[in-house]
A and B are shown apart, each in its own frame.
Chain A
Amino acid sequence: MKSLIFQTASRYLLPLLLLFSVFILLRGHYLPGGGFVGGLMAAIAFILYSFAFGLKETRSIVKLNPRYLMPIGLAICILSAISPWLVGLPVMTGLWYDEPLQLIGMVGSALFFDIGVYLVVIGSTLTIMFSIIETI
C-alpha cells in the first residue's frame, strides 16, 4: 500500500507504538497492561510498518529474525521461573529487589517472566504474520 500519508504516519507510529508497548509491559504489575498486551502492540507496530513499506524493508530495520525471539523469550520465562529454585525457594516464588529502580519501578522475577511472555508473543505473532505475508 504505497500511500504517502500512510507511509509517513507509520514511519512515526513504529517507534511510538514500540515505546508504548514497553510502557504497557512495565506498568502491568500495578495498572492495566502486561507482557501479553504489550507484545501484541509491538507486533501490530511492525505489521503496520510492513503494510506501508513491505516486508523486506521491515526485515531490514530489525536485524533479528522474529523467529529467534520465541526461544529467547521462552528461555527468559523458564529462567525467571526456576531462579528462586536456585536460591533454595520453591519454583516460581516471586523474588524482588527491595528498592524500586528509576523509570521502571519495582524489579523482580515476575517482571522478567512478563518480559519473556512479551518476547514470545512478538516472536510468534510476527512469525505467523510474516509467513502469511510471504506466501501471498
Chain B
Amino acid sequence: MIFAVISGLISAAILPIFSRFKKDLVPKLYPFIPLGIFIYLASFLQHVVSEGAQFWSYSWIPSFGINLDFRLDGLSLLFGLMITGIGALVFFYTSYYLKEDKYLDRFYGYLSMFMAAMLGLVLSDNLISLFIFWELTSISSFFLIGYKNEDDSSQKSALTALGVTGFGGLVLLAGLIWIGHVGGTFSYTELLNSSEILQNHQSYIWIVILVFVGAFTKSAQFPFHFWLPGAMKAPTPVSTYLHSATMVKAGIYLLARFTPLLGGTDIWNWTLIIVGGFTMLYAAIHSLFRTDLKSILAYSTISALGILVFLLGIGTEDALLGAGIFILTHALYKATLFLITGIIDHETGTREVTSLAGLQKIMKPVALAGYLAALSSAGVPFLLGFISKEVMYEASFHFGSWAILLTAALVITKIILFVAGFWVGIKPFTGSLPEEHKSAKMPSPLLWVPPVLLASLSLIFGALPWLLDGLMQSVFTSMLPEAPEIHLAVWHGFNWILGLSLITLAVGLVLYYTLKPSKKLIENVKTFDRIAPIQLMENIAMSFQGFAEKWTGFFQNGFLRNYVITILLFLTVLAGYRLYDGVDIHLDWNQISQITPSEFLVVILMVTSIIFALVTKTRTGVIVALGIIGLANCLFFLYYSAPDLAMTQFSIDILLVLLFMLVLFQLPKNRSFSTRKIRYRDGLLSLMFGSLIAILALEVFEAPSYSEVSDYYAENAYILAKGKNVVNVILVDFRGIDTMVETVVLVIAAIGVFSLLNLNLNPKSKD
C-alpha cells in the first residue's frame, strides 16, 4: 500500500533525470501509474465491501504518535478510485492536449505529485500525516495552477489559491492537534471510540470551527470560494482533475470523515446547512452570469460543493447517502464537461459559449459525451444524476420544520445547475454551425475517449444503479457506522419527490430556452464587485503589504549608521531595563596602587587616541587613532598574560587598518555632513552604551567565577594532548569541532563577500 501511495512522489522525483534522457517517453509511460494504482485499489473492492475497512501500518515518527497508517474503507476507496481513475484518463488526455508544450514532462511531475498527495490524504488514518498530504495537495496545485508560469494572471491565481488553501491548512492543523490532544491519539480509528469525549469537551466548538475553516477553504465554500474561479487559469486537464473531481472534494472528504467523530450536534449541522446552502445558491446564480465555459463550470462546481456540504449538514441517513452518491455523480459528469470544454477550446480556440454552436456535426462522440453529462447534471432518469437528486430531495424533504425552505433552496439550485449544465454540455453542439468554426477538426481519440468513458459510466450506473450497491453501502457505513442496508433503484413510485424532480426538469428546460447566456449580464453584477470577498481579501493583502513596506523601510533604510543606532539603542534599553533593579558593583580603591606605570601609560595612550579620533579632520588620522586603540588593547592582553590573544588581536588590528586604508584612500576628501544635533545624539548614545558595557564588565567581577573547566584544561593539555600551549590545545583538540565549524563559517563568509562584491545586478553595465 505504501508503494501505491508514494509511487506518484517517486515518479515525480525521478522525472527530471528521466526526462533528460527520454523526454518523449514521459507522456507515454506516466499515464500507466494511475492506471496501475486504480487496478490495485479496485482489487480491494470486494474485501472492503464484505469485510469492512482494511489497515496498513508503517512506523514513521512513533515517538510523536505520527505514523503512516493507512485505512481503506468505503469512503477512502471511493475517493481513491476517483483519484486514480479520473487521474488515469486525465493523464492520457494530457498527453495529447499539451502535446507541443515544452514543459510537458514537468506537468506530469506535478500531476503525479498531486495524485500521490491526494491518495495519501484520503488513505491516511493518522491525522498528522493526513495534514501533511493535505498541504502537499495545496502545494502541488499551486504549481499546476501556475503552470503557465510567464502569465501574470496565472501567477496571481496560483498565489491566491495557495494563500487561501494554505491558510486553511494551517488552521486545520491546529484543529487536528487539538483533536489529538483531547482524544489522546492521532489515529482516526482509535478516535472513533472517543467521539463522546470529543463532543462533550469544552473546546469542541473551537475544534469544529478550526476543522470547518480548513474544509471550507479547500472546498471553496463561501466566503473562501473566490480562489476556485481564478484557479481555472490552469490548463483544462488540471481543472478537470483538481478543481472538479478531486482536490476541491478534499474538504468534503474531511467533513464526511469527521461526521461520525464530530458530527450530529446542532452547531455542526446548522453551520454546514447555512454555509453549504448559501454557497450552493450564491454560486449557482453566479454561474448564470458567465459566458466563458470554464467560468460557468467553476461556479457550478462551487455550487455542487455547496450541495455536498449542505447534505452533510442535514446529516440524516438519506442525506449522507445522497452525499455519497452525489460525490461520484458530480465527479463523473463534471469531469466530462471539463474535458469536452478542453476539446472545444483545443479545436476552436474559444470558450465563449455565445459564439459556440452546432459542433456535433464535426465531433459526434464529444457531443454525445456532452449530452450525457448535461443530462446527468440535470438529473434526467436513467442517468446517475437522477438517482442522487432523488435521494437528495428525499433528505431535505423530510428534515423537520425547515423542510420546505431547505427543499426550495435545493430545487432552485438544481434548476439553475440544470441550465448551466445544458449551456456547457448541449448548447455548443446543437444549432447551426457558425462560419468561423467550420475549420474545426475531429480530435484525436486520446482526447475524446476519456469524456465518452466517463459519460457512459454516468449512464451505466444510472440505468443499473444496483451495480453501485456494494461500494455505496460501504461509503455509507464509513460515514454512519450503523447504516441500514441500501438498495439503489431508478423507480421509487409516484410520490412528492418524483413531482419535485419533474418540476426541476420542466422549469430548467423552460429557463434554458428563455435565458440566453450573454455578456450584458455580467456587466450588471460588476457593481457588486466592491463587496465581493475576493476584493476584501485583496484589500487586506494590499494593506498588509503596505504596512510591511513602511515597517521595513523604516528599519532597513539602507544607512549603515541607522542600523548601528537601532542595534545599540535596543541593546542599551534592553540591558538598561535589566539594570533598573539596581547595580551591584564594588570598587576596591585599595587596589589602585597595584596599577603599574606602564599600564597607566597605555591607558593615557588610549584616551588620547580616542580624543584625537574625535577631533581630527582627516580620515587617515581617525584610522591611525583607531589602530592605536587596538594595539593598546593588545598590550593589555600581554600584561594579563594572554599572548595568544594579543597576537591575534594584533594581526586583526593590522588587517583592519589596512582594509580601511584601502577603501578610504579612494574616497573624496573628508567633509562634515552631520549636523550638530545628530552629533550630540550619537555622542549621547555612545556614552550610554559605553557606560553600560563598563557597568556590565564590572558586574562580571561580582559574580563568583568557576575555574574547574580552565583547571581541567590546564592540567590535561599536556597529558592528554601533548601540548604545552593550553589555548592552542583547546582550539585544535579539546574543542576541535568548534574550530572546524568556525573555519567553515569563515569560508562561508568569504564566499559571501566574494559573491556579493562580484554580483552584477545590472548585466548591461558589465565591463
Extra contacts, 15 of them, besides A32-B643, A44-B651 (Cβ < 8 A), are A29-B724, A29-B728, A29-B729, A37-B651, A67-B754, A77-B740, A110-B732, A113-B739, A124-B750, A125-B655, A128-B753, A129-B655, A131-B758, A136-B662, A136-B663
Q: How far is the CB of B168 from chain A (nearest CB, A)?
A: 46
Contacting pair B644 A32 (CB below 8 A): yes
Output the nearest chain A residue to B734 by Cβ-Cβ distance.
A92
When each residue 741-760 of chain B gets 1 if its CB lies under 8 Å from chain A and 0 otherwise, what string results?
00110110111011001100
Q: Which residues of the partner chain B approach A117 to less than 8 Å between Cβ atoms?
A: 731-732, 739, 743
Q: Are B731 and A34 in contact (CB under 8 A)?
A: yes
A125–B658 CA distance with the chains assembled, in angstroms: 12
Do the beta carbons of A40 and B663 come within 8 Å of each other?
no
Question: Quick check: B654 and A44 within 8 Å, CB to CB?
Answer: yes
Contact A131 B757 (CB under 8 A): yes
Q: Mark B523-557, 1 if CB is under 8 A from A, else 0.
A: 00000000000000000000000000000000000
Q: A29-B723, A29-B728, A131-B754 known; A74 and B747 CB under 8 Å?
A: yes
* Residues 102-136 (chain A) with a chain B CB within 8 angstroms: 106, 108, 110, 113-114, 116-117, 120-121, 123-125, 127-129, 131-136
Q: Which residue of B723, B732, B753 is within 8 Å of A127 (Cβ)?
A: B753
Q: Are B725 and A29 in contact (CB under 8 A)?
A: yes
- Say yes or no for A61: interface residue by CB 8 A criterion: no
Asked whether any CB of chain B lies closer than 8 Å to the CB of A30, the reply is: yes
Q: Considering the chains assembled together, what is the distance between the CA atoms of A74 and B666 in angstroms?
A: 34
- In the assembly, what is the distance between CA of A81 and CA of B740, in Å? 9
B766, chain A: closest CB distance, angstroms: 14
Q: For residue B748, which residue of chain A has the nearest CB?
A: A124
CA distance A33 to B651 in the complex (A): 12
Task: Flag whether B671 is at the interface (Cβ < 8 A).
Answer: no
CA A127 – CA B752 in complex, angstroms?
10
Residues from chain A with a CB closer than 8 A to the CB of B725 are 28-34
Asked if B747 and A48 sit within 8 Å, CB to CB, the answer is: no
Chain A residue with minimal CB distance to B757? A131
Shortest 8 CB-CB distances between A and B: which pairs? A124-B750, A40-B651, A32-B643, A30-B724, A29-B723, A131-B757, A120-B743, A127-B750
Question: In the complex, which residues of chain A have a beta carbon less than 8 angstroms from the beta carbon of B743?
Answer: 73-74, 77, 116-117, 120-121
Q: Mark B705-736, 1 if CB is under 8 A from A, else 0.
A: 00000000000000011111101110111001
A34 and B733 within 8 A (CB): no
Q: List 18 A-B contacts (CB under 8 A).
A: A30-B725, A34-B725, A40-B648, A40-B655, A73-B743, A74-B744, A81-B740, A94-B720, A108-B722, A110-B723, A110-B732, A110-B733, A113-B732, A113-B736, A117-B732, A131-B753, A133-B662, A136-B666
Digit string of A12-41 for contact with B (CB within 8 Å is 1, else 0)?
000000000000100011111111110011
- Do A94 and B644 touch across chains, with their CB atoms under 8 A apart? no
A106: nearest residue on chain B (CB-CB)? Answer: B722
Residues of A within 8 A of B (CB): 24, 28-37, 40-41, 43-44, 47-48, 51, 67, 70-71, 73-74, 77-78, 81, 92, 94, 96, 106, 108, 110, 113-114, 116-117, 120-121, 123-125, 127-129, 131-136
B748 to chain A, nearest CB (A): 9
Interface contact A37-B662, CB-CB below 8 Å: no
Is there an interface contact between A31 and B724, defined as CB atoms closer than 8 Å? yes
Instruction: Decide if the interface of chain A is mainly helix, strand, loop or mixed.
Output: helix
Measured CB to CB, the closest approach of chain B to A121, in angstroms, equals 7
Q: Which residues of A contact B722 (CB under 8 A)?
A: 29, 94, 96, 106, 108
Task: Tell me the smallest distance from the CB of A44 to a CB of chain B, in Å.
Answer: 6
A43–B655 CB distance below 8 A: yes
Whether A37 touches B648, Cβ cut-off 8 Å, given contacts A70-B750, A120-B746, A132-B663, is yes
CB distance from A128 to the nearest CB of B (A): 5
In whole angstroms, how far apart are the Cα atoms of A123 and B729 in the complex? 23
What is the distance, in angstroms, from B646's C-beta to the closest C-beta of chain A? 8
Kindly state the separation between the CA atoms of A56 and B663 in the bound complex, as whole angstroms. Answer: 18
- Interface residue? B489 (CB, 8 A): no
Closest beta carbon of chain B to A133's beta carbon, Å: 6
User: Are A134 and B728 interface neighbours, CB within 8 A?
Assistant: no
User: Which residues of chain B are near A30, meaning CB under 8 Å?
Assistant: 723-725
Contacting residues, chain B, for A51 (C-beta < 8 A): 658, 661-662
Q: What residues of B have a CB within 8 angstroms of the CB of A36 in the complex?
A: 648, 731
Cβ 8 A contact of A35, one of B659, B724, B732: B732
Q: How far is the CB of B73 from chain A (nearest CB, A)?
A: 51
Number of A-B contacts (CB under 8 A): 138
Q: Whole-angstrom distance between the alpha carbons of A36 and B721 in the complex?
A: 19
Given contacts A32-B643, A132-B757, A133-B662, contact A40 B744 (CB under 8 A): no
* Interface residue from B732, B740, B746 paired with A121 (Cβ < 8 Å): B746
- Give the chain B neighbours of A40 by CB distance below 8 A: 648, 651-652, 655
Complex CA gap A74/B739 in Å reads 11
Asked if B737 is an interface residue, CB under 8 A from chain A, the answer is yes
| Known contacts A37-B648, A41-B651; A129/B659 CB under 8 A | yes
Q: Are B736 and A92 in contact (CB under 8 A)?
A: yes
What is the chain A residue whose CB lies nearest that of B647?
A: A37
- Contact of A128 with B749 at beta-carbon distance under 8 Å, contacts A77-B743, A81-B740, A135-B757 already known: yes
Q: Determine the chain B residues whose CB is within 8 A of the CB of A47 once the complex forms.
A: 655, 658
Q: Select the residue from B643, B720, B723 with max chain A CB neighbours within 10 A.
A: B723
By a CB distance below 8 angstroms, the chain A residues around B728 are: 28-29, 33-34, 114
Rounded to whole angstroms, the CA-CA distance of A63 and B316 in the bound complex is 84
The reply to whether A124 and B662 contact each other, CB–CB distance below 8 Å, is no
Query: Which among B661, B720, B736 has the greatest number of chain A C-beta atoms within 10 A?
Result: B736
Contacting pair A92 B651 (CB below 8 A):
no
B632-659 vs A, CB cutoff 8 Å, 1 = contact: the mask equals 0000000000011001100110110011
Taking CB atoms, residues of chain A closer than 8 Å to B750 are 70, 123-125, 127-128
Residues of B within 8 A of A81 (CB): 736-737, 740
Give the residues in chain B near A67, CB-CB below 8 Å. Answer: 754
A96 to chain B, nearest CB (A): 6
For the complex, give the distance between the alpha carbons of A33 and B726 in Å.
Answer: 11
In the complex, residue of chain B having the shortest beta-carbon distance to the beta carbon of A71? B747
How far is A34 from B724 in the complex, measured between Cα atoms in Å? 12
Expressed in whole angstroms, the minimum distance between the Cβ of B713 and any Cβ of chain A is: 14
User: Which residues from chain B contact A120 at a C-beta distance below 8 Å?
Assistant: 743, 746-747
**Set of chain B residues within 8 Å of A70, measured between Cβ atoms:** 747, 750-751
Taking the nearest CB of chain A, how far is it from the CB of B723, in angstroms? 4
In whole Å, how far is B755's beta carbon from the nearest beta carbon of chain A?
9
Q: How far is the CA of A15 from the CA of B658 in the complex (A)?
A: 19
On chain A, the residues within 8 Å of B666 by CB distance are: 136
Q: Are B644 and A124 in contact (CB under 8 A)?
A: no
A47 vs B663: C-alpha distance when bound (angstroms): 13
> In the complex, A29→B729 CA distance in Å?
7
Q: Which residues on the A side are within 8 Å of B754 (C-beta)?
A: 67, 127-128, 131
Chain A neighbourhood of B724, CB < 8 A: 29-31
The CB with the most chain A CB atoms within 10 A, among B722, B740, B749, is that of B740
> For A114, what are the chain B residues with a Cβ–Cβ distance below 8 Å?
728, 732
Please measure, in the bound complex, the distance between the C-alpha atom of A33 and the C-alpha atom of B727, giving whole angstroms.
Answer: 9
Which chain B residues border A29 with CB–CB below 8 Å? 722-725, 728-729, 732
Bound: A62/B25 CA distance, A = 52
Task: Give complex CA distance A121, B744 in Å.
Answer: 10
In the bound complex, CA of A24 to CA of B648 (Å): 11
Shortest distance in angstroms between A130's beta carbon and chain B's nearest beta carbon? 9
For A33, the chain B residues whose CB sits under 8 A away are 644, 647, 725, 728
